[in-house]
Amino acid sequence: MEGIFFLKGVFSKEQLELTSDRFDALIRSKSLLSEALYLEEKYDTFLSNYLEIEKEALIQTIERVFQKKEVYKNSHELIHTMNRKFLNLLSSIKMYQDQVPSHVRNCLLNNSTAFNEAKKLFSQEFDSCNEYQFMEALRNHAQHGGHAVHSISFQANRLGNEDNAKNEFSIYVWCLKSYLKKNRSFKKLILQKVDEKIDLIKYSRKYIQCLNNCHIIMREMIAGEIDIARLDIEHILSEFMNSYNRKTDNMYLVKVDVQGNEIGERIALFLDYDNQRIDLTIKNQRLQNLSMACFASTSYSD
């Protein structure tokens, strides 16, 4: 059916007529920005789950010092809590790995080569990092009924001498090799590379560092197309604003017939969601040496 294409405002009668090609290009630009947002949201999801683990470790360390609880009961509850948080982390990483190559491909106009390149990034990190290999195997173990966390321990160290002495408190979240060996499907080659007790927080930091490396590269892969898509929408909204001297809130694309009846659904056109993507890229930048980090609450008198 023949039609005429417009950019309109929901609460106004003003409309900007578009060519068919311009209409299609704007829809494509909106789609690309949506795909880029999905990529950033899924990265932010698993990164937030990782931060929950780090926060829980700090909270539990502080509470251990100030609150006297029944040791066995508290330890059992904490292991359960940490198992849940690690399962959330590992599951959200799996979702990210499965879905973001498709978002990269879609951002690059269904470029199948880009899809394969994105998948390859994960494979390269897997091949080069023992911690990555272990955490991937641990996810399979946890998702099929096993536990990731088997033991929790606290440590108190006295640093320095006499008047300069300081007390330092820390927590360790352990995965025990002896438990993993009971799972016959757990890859023996990976188990051979780890100690009897695996520090899960330390391994997670290295794992997250590897995934961050992948994400930054994928972000760079799509940057050119995403910048063009945003400019495309910015230009048409600016053109509408200059033509009618009004704000471009609640704008939509629509096709109408010769009688002026709308054909198909209205397609909202705005940049608020892409502003969210930009905020996420600012929030989640390249991680520098996360695997070497140690988070502590230390405030000592001189």
User: For all residues of the chain together, what is the average pLDDT?
Assistant: 91
Evaluate whether 96 touches 170 at the Cβ level (below 8 Å).
no
User: What's the pLDDT at 11?
Assistant: 81
The rounded distance, in Å, linking the Cα atoms of 165 and 252 is 66
Strands (E) located in 93-195: 151-159, 166-176
Residue ranges per structural domain of the chain: 4-292
Residue corresponding to tokens 């070497």: 292
The rounded distance, in Å, linking the Cα atoms of 300 and 302 is 6
User: What's the pLDDT at 253?
Assistant: 97
User: What's the pLDDT at 63?
Assistant: 85
132: Cα separation from own chain's centroid: 16
Q: What is the pTM of this model?
A: 0.90
pLDDT tens digits, one per residue of 134-185: 999 999 999 998 999 999 998 888 877 777 778 888 899 999 999 999 999 9
pLDDT tens digits, one per residue of 216-269: 999 999 999 999 999 999 999 999 999 988 888 889 999 999 888 889 899 999
User: In terms of DSSP H, where are the helices of 129-268?
Assistant: 130-143, 177-180, 188-191, 200-244
Amino acid sitting at position 211: L
Amino acid sitting at position 235: H
User: What's the pLDDT at 290?
Assistant: 86
Q: In a 3-state reduction of DSSP, which class is residue 34?
A: helix
Q: In a 3-state reduction of DSSP, which class is residue 83?
A: helix
Evaluate whether 173 touches 201 at the Cβ level (below 8 Å).
yes
Q: Is the dihedral of CA 243, 246, 251, 255 positive or negative?
A: negative
pLDDT tens digits, one per residue of 33-90: 999 999 999 999 999 999 999 999 999 888 888 876 655 556 888 999 999 999 999 9
User: What's the pLDDT at 261?
Assistant: 87
122 pLDDT more than 90: yes
